[in-house]
């Protein structure tokens, strides 16, 4: 073998060793998990300023099952995907709906929660469907699935669509009379309405069934596979059903 070929082979070997070492380090290091803690009962701050909720319990159960060390970071929804793209966090669990638009930029775990949109209105409202909101002021969380739904139905630039940064803000707006209705994911809207005396929830059969997924960087198959394996395991061992009942006060019936 010539000196040049030996040198080339040695270089390849060193690259392979470095790659393996890097992978091993990545597997052992603490992973940073982003969640927007304004999304009860999925993620929110308790009286001790700890982030708790359904999403928190699910990711902790997955991490324990897969022997992954994680650190949860409260990240505003408006910057949560940028934080993932920039490498500030390794994954996102924050009630993120899996859709084709997001799949272009990110990869998802298998679904961990079945969802659909829900409308919050004052108790004396006559609204019974999305179409009844035509001409009315509607609050949505900016860049959310509800934003997409309202934009498709009434036009993205419609001035009646009011965009806010969190679910508590849209609920506050409708409860205070600033808007006529708020649209959001069923779990969080139902939870907020149950705690707000003058509001009720309205469902619309036209809203499609959706799924929440854990978000990872595009192409991060190793982490995606670990999350999927962990999720399958916590479903199989009954942990998922226990967490579901804890936060939604009903038995998990599957989908």
Q: Which of 108, 82, 63, 118 is nearest to 212 (CA)?
A: 108
* Tens digit of each residue's pLDDT (9 = 90 or more) over 89-114: 999 999 999 999 999 999 999 999 99
CATH number for position 153: 3.40.190.10
Assigned domain for 21 exists: no
Give the structural domain span for 104: 29-114+210-248
pTM of the model: 0.75
Residues 189, 65 within the same domain:
no
User: E-strand spans in the chain?
Assistant: 31-35, 38-39, 43-45, 51-52, 70-74, 91-92, 106-108, 113-115, 117-122, 138-141, 161-164, 181-185, 199-202, 210-212, 215-217
Residues 97, 152 within the same domain:
no
* Tens digit of each residue's pLDDT (9 = 90 or more) over 169-190: 999 999 999 999 999 999 899 9
> What pLDDT, on a 0 to 100 scale, did the predictor assign at position 227?
98
* Tens digit of each residue's pLDDT (9 = 90 or more) over 36-75: 998 899 999 999 999 999 999 999 999 999 999 999 999 9
Assigned domain for 98 exists: yes
CB within 8 Å of 214: residues ≥ 6 apart: 59, 62, 91, 92, 93, 96, 108, 109, 112, 227, 231
Assigned domain for 253 exists: no
Task: Tell me how many domains the chain contains.
Answer: 2
Contact 145, 97 (CB under 8 A): yes
Residues 106, 217 within the same domain:
yes
Residues 136, 167 within the same domain:
yes
Residues 52, 73 within the same domain:
yes
Assigned domain for 194 exists: yes
């Amino acid at each position: 073998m010539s000196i040049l070929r030996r040198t080339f082979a040695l270089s390849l070997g060193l690259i392979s060793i470095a790659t393996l070492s890097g992978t091993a380090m990545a597997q052992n290091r603490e992973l940073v998990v982003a969640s927007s803690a304004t999304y009860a009962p999925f993620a929110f701050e308790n009286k001790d300023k700890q982030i708790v909720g359904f999403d928190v319990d699910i990711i902790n159960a997955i991490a324990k099952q897969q022997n992954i060390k994680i650190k949860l970071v409260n990240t505003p929804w408006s910057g949560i995907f940028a934080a993932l793209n920039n490498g500030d966090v390794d994954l996102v669990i924050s009630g993120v709906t899996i859709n084709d638009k997001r799949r272009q930029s990110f990869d998802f775990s298998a679904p961990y929660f079945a969802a659909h949109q829900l409308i919050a209105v004052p108790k004396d409202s006559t609204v019974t469907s999305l179409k009844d909101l035509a001409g009315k002021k509607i609050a949505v969380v900016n860049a959310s699935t509800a934003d997409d739904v309202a934009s498709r139905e009434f036009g993205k630039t419609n001035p009646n669509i009011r965009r806010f940064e969190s679910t508590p803000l849209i609920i506050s707006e409708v409860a205070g009379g600033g808007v006529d209705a708020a649209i959001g994911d069923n779990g969080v809207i139902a939870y907020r309405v149950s705690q707000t005396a003058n509001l009720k929830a309205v469902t619309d059969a036209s809203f499609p069934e959706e799924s929440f997924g854990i978000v990872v960087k595009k192409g991060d198959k190793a982490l995606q596979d670990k999350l999927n394996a962990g999720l399958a395991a916590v479903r199989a061992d009954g942990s998922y059903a226990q967490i579901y009942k804890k936060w939604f006060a009903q038995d998990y019936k599957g989908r």
